[in-house]
Amino acid sequence: MKQIVKSSKLNDVCYDIRGPVLTEAKRLEDEGHRVLKLNIGNPAPFGFEAPDDILKDVIHNLPTAQGYADAKGLYSARVAVMQYYQQHNIKNIDIEDVFIGNGVSELIVMAMQALLNSGDEVLLPAPDYPLWTAAVTLSSGTPVHYRCDEQAGWFPDIEDIKAKITPNTRAIVLINPNNPTGAVYSKELLLEVIEVARAHGLVVFSDEIYDKILYDDAKHTCIASLADDLLFVTFSGLSKNYRVAGFRSGWMVLSGNKKLGRSYMEGLNLLASMRMCANVPCQHAVQTALGGYQSINDLVQADGRLRLQRDTAWRLLEQIPGISCVKPQGAMYCFAKVDANRFNIRNDEQMILDLLRQEKVLLVHGSAFNLKDGCYFRLVFLPHADVLQSALGKVERFFAGYLQD
């Protein structure tokens, strides 16, 4: 019988966070090993419970959520999102500018599918959250990675961005607060990005899914609040701030110079309609989440659980000979640098596989985030401090004896 071959449009699409390393972790689990998975930013399994009101609201509305909703989302959810951004100084949004999706993931793919033609280039951070690169490639666009500078707290390198613009560049993507680096961008940096986008007529896509997960004195600024002459698309959702990643509930909002985006909006409306609507029961959580008590603030304040875990993970990483890490200011990850010369490392994925097999700790290698230079890994600091301590003890033991042959 003839083989069923996957579409060639998937040939260059990569999403290595759930790639071969995870397959190996599953194999080890099938053999009966316990693997500590510090690879995915999924708060609930680590005991971060969702606010009660959200759960109550979804349960309460379940009986009336059996039918399809409007393709762009429930009115109550979209009004809540609109008001949230109005309060954050994004002007010129109305309800038609808000799309509710099955998580930000669905909307990222939709946003790229509606925009790109073959050969169109999109500027993306390196390192990035790799779904962005995958979505550009899947949509027949060309991902062009700009450098984020570790020496500058992982801020985007504006000169590198400028150098990578061509007549085919359509858009720039920012992830702020950043996954995987934990950087939170200053207003000054965002204004510089706006200047570049303005000079070259770029759409600005801003993934702000960690906008409430901020440590120390970090302040988040919505880039879309800083100008109204460009087209901005801002993304966020319930997965991280409200710890309900399984609800698959996120949103995207167009703002700024929407006259530029009339045809693009038609494309988005078409794609939203083709998938009927997002999961309806969980859309009921949106208004309650945004309008209710913001328990995420308790978790990130000085003695909050997430903040203490960030401190523990970062401190222990920095103590490992050959490892260093810029202190994350937001999100739920440490992105650590490995001194590749010291360990003779030529392949970071192999390093992560070796760690997994030896210590049964699962991390993600830096190249999975489209970072080609240097050797890095990302660690999720969602487990309690004692678990992190034990995991990082294992990581330290691994590196103490590691030399890649």
The site for ligand PLP (CB under 6 A) is made up of 41, 103-105, 129, 175, 179, 207, 209, 237, 239, 245, 250
Least distance in angstroms from the C-beta of 285 to ligand PLP:
12
Closest listed residue to residue 289, CA positions, set 214, 185, 383, 211: 211
Question: How far apart, in whole angstroms, are the C-alpha atoms of residue 279 and residue 209?
Answer: 19
Question: How far apart, in whole angstroms, are the C-alpha atoms of residue 380 and residue 396?
Answer: 16
For ligand PLP, the closer of residues 222 and 320 by Cβ is: 222
Residue ranges of alpha helices (H) inside 240-304 are: 262-274, 280-291, 296-300
Question: How far apart, in whole angstroms, are the C-alpha atoms of residue 43 and residue 239?
Answer: 8
Least distance in angstroms from the C-beta of 233 to ligand PLP:
13
Least distance in angstroms from the C-beta of 172 to ligand PLP:
15
Least distance in angstroms from the C-beta of 132 to ligand PLP:
8
For ligand PLP, the closer of residues 129 and 154 by Cβ is: 129
Least distance in angstroms from the C-beta of 175 to ligand PLP:
5
Least distance in angstroms from the C-beta of 333 to ligand PLP:
8
Q: Residue 177 phi/psi, 5° resolution?
A: -60, 150
DSSP state of 330: B
For ligand PLP, the closer of residues 245 and 323 by Cβ is: 245
Question: How far apart, in whole angstroms, are the C-alpha atoms of residue 332 and residue 318?
Answer: 17
CA separation (Å) from 79 to 76, 94, 236? 5, 8, 15
Residue with tokens 């701030």: 241
Contact 213, 332 (CB under 8 A): yes
For ligand PLP, the closer of residues 261 and 330 by Cβ is: 330
Least distance in angstroms from the C-beta of 129 to ligand PLP:
4
Contact 212, 178 (CB under 8 A): no
Question: How far apart, in whole angstroms, are the C-alpha atoms of residue 287 and residue 374?
Answer: 43
For ligand PLP, the closer of residues 213 and 345 by Cβ is: 213
The strand pair at 376-380 and 333-338 is best described as: antiparallel
Least distance in angstroms from the C-beta of 215 to ligand PLP:
16
DSSP state of 12: T
| SS3 per residue for 166-196 | CCCEEEEEEECCCCCCCCCCCHHHHHHHHHH
Least distance in angstroms from the C-beta of 339 to ligand PLP:
27
Q: Residue 120 phi/psi, 5° resolution?
A: -70, 135
For ligand PLP, the closer of residues 82 and 183 by Cβ is: 183
Least distance in angstroms from the C-beta of 192 to ligand PLP:
21
For ligand PLP, the closer of residues 279 and 294 by Cβ is: 279
For ligand PLP, the closer of residues 175 and 268 by Cβ is: 175
Contact 238, 270 (CB under 8 A): no
Angle ∠(394,397,401) on CA atoms, nearest 5: 140
Question: How far apart, in whole angstroms, are the C-alpha atoms of residue 184 and residue 331?
Answer: 9
For ligand PLP, the closer of residues 135 and 340 by Cβ is: 135
Residue 381 neighbours by CB distance under 10 Å: 28
Nearest residue (beta carbon) to ligand PLP: 103
| Interacting residues of 23 by C-beta distance below 8 A, sequence separation 6+ | none
For ligand PLP, the closer of residues 41 and 127 by Cβ is: 41
For ligand PLP, the closer of residues 340 and 380 by Cβ is: 380
Least distance in angstroms from the C-beta of 41 to ligand PLP:
5
